[in-house]
């Protein structure tokens, strides 16, 4: 804390310009960048935000997607740290940071990063959800039922609708998009479905496996009839 106090006094004397200030900015950038990447990578980022009373909706499928993809983590971290650093310097310039409050400069900056993560996450999630909705409709499961249930009686249609709703009840939008494409691309490969969604074959395979596992668990519990083990999409 004494070292931070001395550094802050020198930055104020330099009017937040010059080589010392630039080195300070670079060090903070690296510190924030590494922290954000680590917490997004191990999935603890939301917990860190909540520790600072930064509350917002973050569905677990989206957090899992962030954990899985380093390109997304880097995109969010870049947006986050840039925004946080800008705000942080502004607060320093008006004397908001006080060493007698007990927070070091790094601790204070991490708080800024977590607040910025909320905005960075929302910015990314808006685009992510928008892209997925291009493949879904306002009532995707209903549309799937109408397409797959043509020629069936009303009773069978009702059963099919209820079954699909149950299977996809907790599915992510990405999983729903994959199921949509599976039914519109009979005989298509997982790689082809992935290309349309900008995902790898392995990603498609993982989502399909989760949906199948849920269907089989529901069938084992007697909630639905046992689904066919065949797939509309081949490997």
pLDDT tens track for 78-116: 999 999 999 999 989 988 888 777 788 999 999 999 999
- CB atoms < 10 A from the CB of 119, how many? 14
* Closest-CA residue to 144 (of 113, 168, 120, 109): 168
Tokens of 190: 């997982």
Q: Tens of pLDDT along 22-34?
A: 999 999 999 999 9
> Cβ(61)–Cβ(172) under 8 Å?
yes
């Amino acid at each position: 804390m004494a070292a931070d106090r001395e550094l802050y006094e020198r930055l104020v004397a330099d009017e937040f310009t010059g080589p010392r200030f630039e080195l300070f900015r670079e060090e903070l950038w690296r510190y924030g960048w590494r922290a954000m990447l680590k917490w997004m990578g191990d999935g603890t980022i939301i917990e860190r935000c909540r520790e600072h009373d930064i509350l917002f909706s973050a569905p677990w499928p989206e957090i899992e997607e962030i954990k899985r993809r380093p390109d997304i983590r880097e995109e969010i971290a870049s947006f986050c740290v840039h925004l946080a650093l800008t705000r942080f310097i502004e607060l320093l310039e008006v004397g908001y940071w006080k060493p007698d409050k007990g927070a070091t400069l790094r601790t204070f900056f991490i708080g800024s990063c977590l607040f910025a993560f909320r905005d960075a996450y929302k910015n990314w999630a808006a685009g992510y959800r928008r892209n997925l909705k291009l493949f879904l409709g306002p009532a995707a499961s209903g549309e799937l039922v109408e397409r797959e249930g043509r020629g069936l009686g009303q009773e069978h249609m009702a059963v099919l609708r209820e079954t699909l709703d149950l299977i996809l009840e907790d599915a992510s939008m990405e999983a729903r998009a994959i199921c949509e494409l599976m039914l519109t691309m009979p005989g298509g490969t997982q790689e082809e479905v992935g290309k349309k969604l900008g995902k790898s074959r392995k990603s498609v395979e993982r989502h399909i496996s989760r949906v199948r596992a849920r269907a089989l668990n529901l069938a084992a519990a007697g909630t639905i009839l046992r689904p066919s083990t065949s797939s509309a999409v081949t490997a």
